[in-house]
Structure 1
Amino acid sequence: MEKSLQLVFKNASGSTKLITIANPKEGLTKAQTDEAMQKIIAANVFKTVGGDLVQAVEARVVNRNVEVLE
């Protein structure tokens, strides 16, 4: 099973932007992801077509099963 952490933001123009992190550590809490997202916004290191990231929307863990058919 593949697991990823998706951090969802809004940029200055109101568009939704997604940052995906592969293999996040187990047991992440909402408080931890909220804090990390606020630090990303404050550091202003990501530029998007619609402007800077300005709002944290949500963080979610996505599990994906991949089965190769033979």
Structure 2
Amino acid sequence: MAQKLTMSFRNTAGKTVTMSLADPRPDITAADVTTVMDAIIAKNVFSSSGGDLVVKERAVVIDTTENELYNAG
């Protein structure tokens, strides 16, 4: 099962901007993610077509399972 950490922010235009990171640490905590999200906003690490990221909205770890239905290889 694969996992990804998805972090959502609001930009200056009021739109939601989401970024995902594959394979987060298994022991990651809400405090870890909040600290990183605060740093992304404070240091203006990323921007979007709607402007700078200004507010944290949400962070989740998503588990995915792959069920292969066909493989030509």
TM-score range normalised by the length of the shorter chain: over 0.9
Q: Which residue of 2 aligns with 1:21?
A: 21
State how 1:12-51 maps to structure 2 within 5 Å: 12-51=12-51
Q: Which residue of 2 aligns with 1:66?
A: 66
TM-score using structure 1 length: 0.93
How far apart, in 1, do the equivalents of 2:35 and 2:53 lie?
15
Q: Which residue of 1 aligns with 2:10?
A: 10
How far apart, in 2, do the equivalents of 1:34 and 1:9 lie?
11
- The ranges of structure 1 where at least 4 consecutive aligned residues each deviate by more than 4 angstroms after the TM superposition are none
Aligned sequence identity (%): 36
TM-score using structure 2 length: 0.90
Shift of 1:58: 1.4
CA RMSD of aligned residues (A): 0.9
**Which amino acid in the other structure matches residue 59 of structure 1?**
A
Query: How many residues are aligned here?
Result: 70
The secondary structure found in structure 1 opposite 2:38 is: helix
How far apart, in 2, do the equivalents of 1:35 and 1:68 lie?
37
